[in-house]
Amino acid sequence: MISPGMYNFLFCILSINAFSIIITISLVLFILDFTYIVTIESYRISDRSFSMSSLPTRKLKHKNS
């Protein structure tokens, strides 16, 4: 038979494990979200700079005299 003190001990162990699992999952999701945001923003910045550099340049008209 398990004593009430043992129940409290097991509950503490399980709650610590559940808490550490929740913290681990939260950190992983935060890191994934952060890397996704950084990737999308860097893509937008590089896309914007590429589109700005690939704008057609204005050609000077030569006068025929």
**pLDDT at residue 25, as a whole number:** 92
Q: What are phi and psi of 55, to 5 degrees?
A: -65, 145
For residue 2, what is the DSSP state?
-
Q: Which residue has the higher pLDDT, 14 or 63?
A: 14
pLDDT for residue 65 is more than 80: no
* CA-angle at 34, arms to 37 and 29, nearest 5°: 125
- Measured CA to CA, the distance from residue 59 to residue 48 in angstroms comes to 23
Q: How confident is the model at residue 27 (pLDDT cuts 50, 70, 90)?
A: very high
**pLDDT at residue 53, as a whole number:** 56
pLDDT for residue 57 is more than 80: no
- Measured CA to CA, the distance from residue 16 to residue 5 in angstroms comes to 17
Q: What is the pTM of this model?
A: 0.49
